[in-house]
Amino acid sequence: MCACRTDTTEDIASLVYQATSQIPEGMVTTYGDIATALGDRVASRAVGEILSKNEHPLIVPCHRVVYSTGEVGWYGGRDKGSERKIELLEQEGVHIVGGKVQDFATRRFRDFCIDPVLKWMRDEQDRMAAQVIEEDTFGKLEYIAGLDVSYEGENAFAAIVLMDWEHMKMVEERTIQCKITFPYIPTFLSYREAPAIRRLIEKRPGAVYLIDGQGVLHPRGAGIASRIGVGLDIPTVGAAKSVLVGSVQDVDADSSPILLDGRIRGWALRQGSKATYVSVGHRVSLDTATRICSRALKHGIPQPLRRAHELANRARREAST
């Protein structure tokens, strides 16, 4: 057992390195085991990405982290294969037979002592979800805004585009640049993008904010749109380019309900090959959220979101010039 809990939100990467450093010589673990120690196995790929950038290969023994199948996996770059990794493990008494760890089950170390931050985040998501209001609690609709983020490594460019609801004309646009170190982990997107997005929002009466990602159409009902909505107490809509949870009833229809736990929790809006998956963020009914996105839809994407996406990309390209 272990009861470590960091006082501040520690960087995920340093927790991964902490865990990796706890693997004893002669033992191995998996990316999923480290993710589980972080609090959620869905982070396994993020763990792999972090370890692939390990700058101290022998001090932080990432060669002791293998696939859940027992396969060794690559080391020192995908192009370099697993030769070196096998060599290091053999030196430590871990035998590799047919590309797999021999006696994998007994060699497997899982007794990590790191702060399970993702568990605390899940708890927070549960609390957020309980605060979501799925009704229209804003005045007359005057504006819709779209928000998105573009990346160049840890350099992030967030953009907002505000449009007039009646004439669907652009009213305002703005971008910011910032560093984002929190990795992309499915179901935890808001911890990566919400801080940047929040900085762009100045509460404007009559505005509904469309956010690139899910609202309540999330395993815990706390997608990025809901988290931002509840956090800032503003009307938000989740408008995603793909599905996270739930099933689209009619995949071919221009408009189809998305069911989750036997209830309609979202709508799929399609234009040709492109689709937008709409769900309530906060303080908006599903009906209103869907109407807003439908009317603003262009090329399968609500216009303010499409423009915010383009704007964020433009800001990124212009910055690297």
Cα 185 to Cα 38, 42, 149, 188, 236: the distances in Å are 12, 7, 15, 5, 22
> Least distance to DNA from the beta carbon of 52, Å?
13
Q: How far is the CB of 147 from DNA (least distance, A)?
A: 10
Tokens of 186: 């499915």
With CB under 5 to 8 Å by kind, the binding choice for 152 among DNA, Mg ion, none is DNA
Q: Which residue in the set 33, 40, 134, 212 belongs to the binding site for Mg ion (CB under 5 A)?
A: 212
Near DNA by CB under 7 A: residue from 151, 174, 285, 298: 151
Q: Which residue has the tokens 């997608």?
A: 223
Q: What is the DSSP string of 179-221?
A: E--SPP-TT-HHHHHHHHHHHH----TTEEEEEES-SS-STTS
Nearer to Mg ion, 117 or 156 (CB): 156
Q: Are the beta carbons of 65 and 51 closer than 8 angstroms?
A: yes
Closer to Mg ion by Cβ: residue 33 or 148: 148
SS3 state of residue 314: helix
DSSP notation for 243-267: -SSSEES-TTSSEEEEEETTEEEEE
Residue 148's Cα: distance from chain center in Å?
13
Q: Of the candidates 36, 82, 187, 288, which one interacts with DNA according to CB under 7 A?
A: 187
What is the Cα–Cα distance from 282 to 302, expressed in whole angstroms? Answer: 18
Whose Cβ is closer to DNA: residue 27's or residue 292's? Answer: 292
Kindly tell me the sign of the dihedral angle through the C-alpha atoms of 44, 46, 52, 58.
negative
Is there binding between residue 148 and Mg ion (CB under 5 A)? yes
Q: Which residue has the tokens 């927790």?
A: 15
List the end-to-end C-alpha distance of the chain, in Å, as a whole number.
51
- Check residue 210 for interaction with DNA (CB under 7 A): no
Among 242, 262, 263, 321, binds DNA (CB under 7 A): 242
The reply to whether 113 belongs to the active site is no
Q: Is 149 an interacting residue with respect to DNA (CB under 7 A)?
A: yes
| Binding-site partner at residue 180 among DNA, Mg ion, none, CB < 5 to 8 Å by type | none
Of 59, 62, 40, 43, which Cα lies nearest the Cα of 51? Answer: 62
* DSSP secondary structure code for residue 28 in this structure: B
The active-site residue out of 2, 4, 62, 113 is 62
188 binds DNA (CB under 7 A): yes
| 150 contacts DNA (rule: CB under 7 A) | yes
Using the rule CB under 5 A, give the single segment among 52-60, 102-110, 207-215, 283-291 that binds Mg ion. Answer: 207-215
| CB 287 to Mg ion: min, Å | 25
Binding site for DNA (CB under 7 A): 41-42, 148-152, 184, 186-190, 212-214, 218, 223-225, 238, 240-244, 272, 309, 313, 316
Binding site for Mg ion (CB under 5 A): 148, 212
Q: Which residues are catalytic?
A: 62
